[in-house]
């Protein structure tokens, strides 16, 4: 009797193949064993015994069941901070190895490298195919990326107005247990909410905070404290426009912190009427009013000065009074 050879099969494979009781050349008989078994690896001999009426001899068929490839793997780094670089090794040196990773990567080979960018735990699956048989190993939550801390802080004051100034730091970091401060002037600190006295501030100072989690993950942030020259000006409270060439004009005198292109001065009488207005910081009030330039009466007048600090771009309004005496 003639039969087409079957196999090889893989261990525990559901074959779907049958041992035909009629040979390819129409000889009937029985098989021993009667069904294909893949429960054990190795070669099994199956014997076909023809019926007595067939006048044929017994024949045999060897069917091979191959073992499944052994799948193991390891990683050089299974826990760490983001970004976590991981080298994975395992699989078969002679087979086909496919890695399916929880970060979305699908890689081939016995040694692969990947990176995990976001916090969380990730599955790793290795599929190995060898000698026509395959096996898979999945380790759930095998790679874990720890949460990074969030570094954050505020400062008070938010700008320097003096060369010698104390600054208070308020730490609002999250997920951190240790802190490293760089105060920007050569000094450092490790307390949660430090204060620091600065002696050289004219150029401004960049402060850096490094926040460290209990696992050792880092985050950093920076805040720049500028030096804003404080505006200094003088406004007289009396002037005497009497023609003697002394104290004839009422005008503020700025020494610092003043933008001459963003200036306005208004003079009001006792009824709140505007009797003088200028946008020129060099042009003061001579005590006159109206188109004809009539002399204002002696008395107290309200002034309003609007100006902008060129360092902070802050618009300020100052109100006061001046006495006119002739």
Q: What is the pLDDT of residues 92-124, one digit of tens each?
A: 999 999 999 999 999 999 999 999 999 999 999
Domain range annotation of the chain: 9-66, 73-146, 153-225, 232-324
* 232-324 carries CATH number 2.60.40.1220: yes
Can you give the length of the chain in residues?
326
Please report the pLDDT score of residue 230 as a whole number: 65
Q: Do 38 and 9 form a contact (C-beta atoms < 8 A)?
A: yes
* 153-225 carries CATH number 3.30.465.10: no
Identify the burial level of 120 via C-beta atoms within 10 angstroms of its C-beta, where 0-12 means exposed, 13-18 middle and 19 or more buried: middle
Please report the pLDDT score of residue 291 as a whole number: 86
Please report the pLDDT score of residue 173 as a whole number: 98
Helix (H) or strand (E) holding 319: strand 315-324
pLDDT tens figures, 127-165: 999 989 999 999 999 999 999 999 999 999 988 877 788
Q: Do 66 and 132 form a contact (C-beta atoms < 8 A)?
A: yes
Taking 50 as the pLDDT cut, the residues of the chain under it are none
Q: Do 154 and 221 form a contact (C-beta atoms < 8 A)?
A: no
Half-sphere exposure (Cβ direction) of 221: Cα atoms closer than 13 Å: 15
| CATH number assigned to the domain covering 73-146 | 2.60.40.10
Max Cα distance, the chain (Å): 153
Please report the pLDDT score of residue 229 as a whole number: 67
């Amino acid at each position: 009797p003639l039969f087409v050879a079957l196999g090889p099969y893989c261990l525990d494979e559901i074959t779907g193949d049958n041992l035909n009781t009629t040979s390819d050349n129409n000889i009937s008989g029985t098989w021993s064993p009667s069904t294909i078994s893949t429960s054990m690896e190795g070669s099994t001999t199956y014997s076909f015994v023809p019926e007595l009426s067939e006048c044929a001899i017994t024949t045999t068929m060897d069917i091979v069941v191959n073992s499944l490839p052994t799948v193991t793997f390891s990683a050089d780094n299974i826990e760490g901070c983001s970004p976590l670089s991981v080298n994975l090794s395992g699989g078969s040196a002679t087979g086909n190895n496919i890695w399916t990773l929880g970060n979305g990567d699908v890689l081939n080979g016995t040694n692969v490298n990947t990176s995990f960018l976001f916090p969380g735990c990730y599955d790793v699956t290795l599929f190995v195919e060898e000698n026509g048989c395959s096996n898979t190993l999945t380790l759930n939550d095998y790679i874990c990326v720890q949460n990074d801390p969030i570094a954050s802080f505020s400062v008070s004051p938010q700008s320097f107005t003096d060369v010698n100034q104390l600054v208070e730091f308020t730490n609002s970091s999250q997920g951190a247990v240790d802190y490293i401060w760089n105060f920007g002037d050569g000094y450092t600190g490790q307390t949660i909410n430090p204060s620091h006295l600065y002696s050289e501030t004219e150029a401004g100072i960049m402060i850096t905070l490094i926040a460290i989690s209990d696992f050792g993950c880092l985050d950093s942030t920076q805040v720049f404290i500028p030096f804003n020259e404080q505006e200094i000006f003088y406004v007289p409270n009396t002037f005497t426009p009497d023609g003697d060439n002394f104290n004839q004009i009422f005008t503020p005198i700025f020494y610092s912190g003043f933008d001459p292109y963003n200036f306005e001065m208004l003079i009001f009488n006792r009824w709140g009427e505007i009797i003088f207005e200028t946008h020129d910081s060099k042009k003061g009030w001579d005590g006159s009013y109206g188109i004809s330039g009539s002399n204002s009466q002696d008395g107290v007048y309200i002034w309003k000065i609007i100006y902008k600090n060129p360092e902070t771009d802050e618009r300020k309004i100052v109100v006061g009074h001046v006495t006119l005496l002739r």
